Amino acid sequence: MDDLNHPKVRKFTREIGRRLRIDESFLDFVFADKRPDCFQYWVEDVASGWTCYVPDEFDVTYPLWSTNANQTLLLVTGDSLVFGQGYHDSPEVNLIAKTTQGLLTELMIQLIESEASDVELREAAEFCGYRFFDRLLILMDTISSEDYSVLIGHFITEVDETSI
């Protein structure tokens, strides 16, 4: 499927991650051969999807994993990075976070919404090195549907600022 990817999409390796100063526990998660079952749908092999569009402001894009043929991406410009979602069938990229912890917040929200058990969620958070799990659970228990998008966005921004 590499020929379906946008020309700026390149293979991600541990060496690239280290050069970009990505946390080693996140790299372990990305390159794990086996993950807890609750990740099964959400974190598929990167080759199971492709990204057809990358905005001009990014120099290179590295897919980290796929979900339903769409790729979770690390987008790089110079020495700054951002994480997002690229689509196989749409000329847009959804920017998610500036840090691995912000990206993992989005992933953990998907797991919570998929109704994984508390035990599975805690195992998942530990496995991927997510450090804001208890705070995220409190937010998810108290958030209302009309405030949902705004409060989740604020929380991811707060996680990013705490993690930089």
Q: What is the mean pLDDT of residues 90-113?
A: 96
Q: What is the mean pLDDT of residues 39-57?
A: 94
Taking the C-alpha atoms of residue 23 and residue 2, their distance in angstroms, rounded to an integer, is 26
pLDDT of residue 151: 92
pLDDT at 1 over 80: no
Taking the C-alpha atoms of residue 115 and residue 128, their distance in angstroms, rounded to an integer, is 18
pLDDT of residue 147: 84
pLDDT of residue 2: 58
Taking the C-alpha atoms of residue 66 and residue 151, their distance in angstroms, rounded to an integer, is 26
pLDDT at 146 over 90: no
Residue 4: pLDDT band (50, 70, 90) is low
Amino acid at 78: G
Reading the block at residue 127, the tokens are 């496995």
Taking the C-alpha atoms of residue 116 and residue 46, their distance in angstroms, rounded to an integer, is 23
pLDDT of residue 143: 86
Name the percent of the chain lying above pLDDT 70: 98
Q: For the purposes of burial, counting CB atoms within 10 Å of the CB of 137, is it exposed (0-12), middle (13-18) or buried (19 or more)?
A: middle
Taking the C-alpha atoms of residue 15 and residue 33, their distance in angstroms, rounded to an integer, is 17
Report the chain's mean pLDDT, rounded to a whole number.
94
Residue 3: pLDDT band (50, 70, 90) is low
Lowest mean pLDDT among 4-8, 28-32, 138-142, 146-150: 4-8
Q: Which helix (H) or strand (E) holds 15?
A: helix 14-19
pLDDT of residue 113: 93
Taking the C-alpha atoms of residue 59 and residue 144, their distance in angstroms, rounded to an integer, is 38
